[in-house]
Structure 1
């Protein structure tokens, strides 16, 4: 039987990257759950400056159907029965009218005020943590070196090849595993350059205090309700990113990936590169 390829340990993630990553995990998780608590105060979304209560483009509510309460979620012209999960949530016999279920929100009980307190506290942690990451990344060249794709990587043929390779769950080994591929780079840039800043900007635009300081920001997003909708959509995009990210962490080598994000050490197949033999 053939011997397994020798392994070497490389330093894949710096201490600052690892610390800010885990602080982001904490902050984003609690921002999401407290945000759902805030959303539950009025579980509907609109476009424009004002709420047109009769015409939400997304809503979660309890509706009587044949004399029986049902949770109905609407998205545009589509209607879904989401009883037990959205709109009319909870276990059979203990259901209540609320957008997202109690287990998905912080706090689990109904409290808009407490939801806002949790949200604002972790929003500051998120912003400060993000600034630390950006300033350190720019100063040390991490953003330019590790996250910006090269011209060769941006060739359509190369991108298509990486998409097909990812779809087949084939992951780089040896030297290519030392750095991010173009799909990873573009995805991370989308999140940290577009989605996360968009969440911060739309969140600030919904703050009455910030509106007094910079009133033009809310107009940039088309009004308060449009800002709220964009905030929700950006959060949804982050949830989808996290879901795909976790799946890929598991299928590409859970323990190796976790070790690299905790200790910085990542095992790759030896190809003559420098490193500590595993």
Structure 2
């Protein structure tokens, strides 16, 4: 097999990518801190404490003492140590939604969690606008992210190949495959705007200035739930993205996002 080095990612793409990594990590951890202040989700304009869509709580009288419980649309699960509460090293039971080990800060502080979340939310928005502007003006969207007709026709074959861990090589590896393109487009133009819009809808100040936001999302509590769902889908996208980086070549993928250079294995010419 011969090797060909291509220039895959422009400097703007690489820089905004790594800023996004930092912003998303802080937003996730601080968002869990904010969620822990009231670890339940509802649909509608008010909190129906008797009938939450999702709730992370605890029960005092478990088989061996208090247990963490997650209520999902009326079905309850024992999630001690993961969600709802768990035992500390000293044997004491502590209530929480998500464990403090994955929140920012790593202890109960709604004020600090909000400060981290709001600062990095605006950093994330500004960085996203820079990326979007570059994408539109440079032709990156049309050239690299928009799937062509041939790729769309082969989407089921691409799904099958990925399920069997058969990945593109040669000329096909020089561009994103159809699943990558569709995933990026969904995140960029659906999930991220939805997360931003629902985040703004949860702000009383924004609701006063733009009351139609509440009408669009069916109330502040519905906006909070949709915000949580869209954020969860973005986390799922990131996990799949990292998994694919690992199974398709860690160093090659990292190098392409650090230096822009990506190595393609091609068949040696006959002769």
User: TM range, normalised to the smaller chain?
Assistant: over 0.9
Counterpart position of 1:141 = 139
1:247 corresponds to which of 243, 249, 265: 243
Counterpart position of 1:276 = none
1:84 maps onto 2:81 in alignment: yes
Counterpart position of 2:8 = 12
Contact 1:50 1:223 in 2 (8 A): yes
**Which runs of structure 1 show a deviation greater than 3 angstroms over 4 or more consecutive aligned residues?**
270-273
Distance 1:142 1:272, change over 3 A: farther
Distance in 2 (alpha carbons) for counterparts of 1:251 and 1:67: 42
SS of 1:212's equivalent in the other structure is: helix
Counterpart position of 1:178 = 174
TM-score (norm 1): 0.93
Distance in 1 (alpha carbons) for counterparts of 2:32 and 2:101: 11
Distance in 1 (alpha carbons) for counterparts of 2:207 and 2:54: 25
Contact 1:59 1:73 in 2 (8 A): yes
Distance in 1 (alpha carbons) for counterparts of 2:138 and 2:123: 22
Could you give the per-residue CA deviations for residues 70-102 of structure 1, whole angstroms, max 9, x where no partner exists?
A: 000011122111111111135351431010001
Counterpart position of 1:220 = 216
Give the alignment's Cα RMSD to 1 decimal.
Answer: 1.4
1:167 maps onto 2:163 in alignment: yes
Contact 2:9 2:260 in 1 (8 A): yes
Distance in 2 (alpha carbons) for counterparts of 1:165 and 1:180: 14
Contact 1:205 1:217 in 2 (8 A): yes
Cα distance, 1:208 vs structure 2? 1.1
Distance 1:7 1:56, change over 3 A: same
Distance in 1 (alpha carbons) for counterparts of 2:191 and 2:87: 31
SS of 1:122's equivalent in the other structure is: helix
Distance 1:67 1:163, change over 3 A: closer
Could you give the per-residue CA deviations for residues 153-194 of structure 1, whole angstroms, max 9, x where no partner exists?
A: 122xx1110000000111111111110010110111111111
Counterpart position of 1:24 = 20
Alignment of 1:115-126 (within 5 A): 115-126=113-124
Aligned residues: 267
1:202 maps onto 2:198 in alignment: yes
1:48 maps onto 2:74 in alignment: no
Contact 1:199 1:231 in 2 (8 A): yes
Counterpart position of 2:100 = 102
Q: Flag structure 1 segments of 5+ consecutive residues without an equivalent.
A: 274-278
